[in-house]
Amino acid sequence: MPRPALFVTRKLPPDVEARLARDYEASLNSGDVLPSRDGILSGAAGKDGLLVTVTDRIDADLIRALPPSVKIIATFSVGYDHIDIAAAKARGIAVTNTPDVLTDATAEIALLLMLGAARQATSAIATLRSGQWKNWAPTGMLGMELTGKRLGILGLGRIGRATAHRARAFGMEVHYHNRRRLDPAQEAGATYHADIERLFRVSDVLSLHCASTPETRRIVNRATIALLPQNAIVVNTARGDIVDDEALIEALASGRLAAAGLDVFANEPNLDPRYLDLPNAFLLPHLGSATRETRNAMGFRALDNLDAFFAGRTPPDLVTV
């Protein structure tokens, strides 16, 4: 039986590519050149499936233009806002993602962002690296302690819960909002707020862990930022478009918010350049899942889904609309 043919849009970790080469007729991207829209379409010609990442915009037009041979799109990511799921369903194309395996890595980055933002790491590092650190000063470079602060989590899913778990070790009090209240075991003592306004009012640190959907896009905006306590911190490891950049930049520049820790941005990698001039913005280039362990696990998880699909089984991480 011929091996299924796959178009793989990005270079993947060596062990993942080795398994791909062993089990599939895989067209790999050894130079890791970002494929254009036309590049994805021509790469998909004659393929049974696509293995894509968050950098590929798989919108409805592209899905409609895919050759009929393509039956599955496996994304090497937990998020799938870059894929039009309804359009894929309409074409009978299965979509899978890679949940679970990046939970811990992303929660670690959320804590890094909280600490970096709270302790003003951006300006402190700049002072040191530019040779302007003259001496230790009792009143110099003061940040905010996380201990005893209220952490508001918007979206207490897998990553939100892993972040809450770590934050408790820092002595933070956890609050959250989800559409539905979780059971007590999953809450682990966190206080539920049925509406986001109440959550924002008690969040000394607000950490975003919800998916990007029409309901959550720009949910952090001028009106909701105004609800946060004075000198609050906003942390985002979810998706950039959950935040209205204009409003966040204004609040950081005016000092209404003490700081922000951001790993994701609208229109990546072309983030709003004004962030770069803000000493109270602690910024990372979408590193949430960027550990060797996690990137391997993401690749293997994507392959487990493809293997199941081509063996005629339901893939474990089938995304449904």
Cα separation, 27 vs 4, in Å, equals 11
Output the smallest distance, CB 150 to ligand DGY, in A.
26
The answer to whether the beta carbons of residues 258 and 232 sit under 8 Å apart is: yes
Residues 6+ apart with CB under 8 A from 127: 133, 141
Catalytic residue, chosen from 239, 250, 274, 292, is 239
Output the smallest distance, CB 14 to ligand DGY, in A.
19
Question: Strands 49-52 and 5-8, how do they pair?
Answer: parallel
The answer to whether the beta carbons of residues 170 and 146 sit under 8 Å apart is: yes
For ligand DGY, the closer CB: 75 or 224:
75
Output the smallest distance, CB 236 to ligand DGY, in A.
11
Catalytic residue, chosen from 193, 209, 286, 301, is 286
For ligand DGY, the closer CB: 54 or 210:
54
Sign for the CA dihedral angle at 117, 123, 126, 131 comes to: negative
Q: Would residue 268 show up in a list of annotated catalytic residues for this protein?
A: yes
For ligand DGY, the closer CB: 150 or 301:
301
For ligand DGY, the closer CB: 40 or 54:
54
Give me the DSSP letters along 233-255: EEEE-S-GGGB-HHHHHHHHHHT
Output the smallest distance, CB 19 to ligand DGY, in A.
19
Note the residues at the interface with ligand DGY (CB under 6 A). Answer: 54, 77-79, 102, 288-289
Give me the DSSP letters along 170-205: TTPEEEEE-SSPPPHHHHTTPEE-SSHHHHHHT-SE
Output the smallest distance, CB 43 to ligand DGY, in A.
21
Cα separation, 118 vs 112, in Å, equals 10
Amino acid at 1: M
Catalytic residue, chosen from 217, 250, 268, 274, is 268
For ligand DGY, the closer CB: 77 or 178:
77
Per DSSP, 2 falls in state P
**Residues with catalytic function:** 239, 268, 286
